[in-house]
Structure 1
Amino acid sequence: MDKIYEDSVFSVDREEELAKLLKENFEDCFKKALTELENPEEEIPSPGQIVGYIEQLPEVEQAKALAIVNDWFDNLDD
């Protein structure tokens, strides 16, 4: 996660981009993470919240999520 915030005050855009990518592939986990928010109509869950639910999935699904996140990190602009 350090690369998301590296050399910036706080990169909400990058965090939201990753959360949306996880939503595309793990919509059920995204929906569960929404339940943790005070204003789910106005907010989106953080990648960390979504991953908390992905960690409860079978290892095959966890590996898929890890591959998606690693690929996303590899494609971040430096």
Structure 2
Amino acid sequence: MKINSSNLSTSTIAVTVDLNIKAGFTGMMIVQMENGVEKAQFPLRRGEFFGSLEDFLNTARMVGYQIIPPAAQVKA
């Protein structure tokens, strides 16, 4: 990993990350960073996406699923 020292005084830095992928890979990767250091990486398979629970629920609604929250539990 290389950090561009000319950007250290700003709130953003340029980071070079070595990706462990197969030759000819085409797709998207998730890279986990901690304190500016790469901790993990994971390639997404074709058709996969990465998002929040809210993103998932919105996507489900867009394709026609009805989201029904669990009923409130009644205390006995």
TM-score range, shorter chain: under 0.3
For normalisation by structure 2, the TM-score amounts to 0.25
Of Structure 1 and Structure 2, the greater helix share is in 1
Of Structure 1 and Structure 2, the greater strand share is in 2
For normalisation by structure 1, the TM-score amounts to 0.24
Report the structure number with the largest CA radius of gyration. Answer: 2
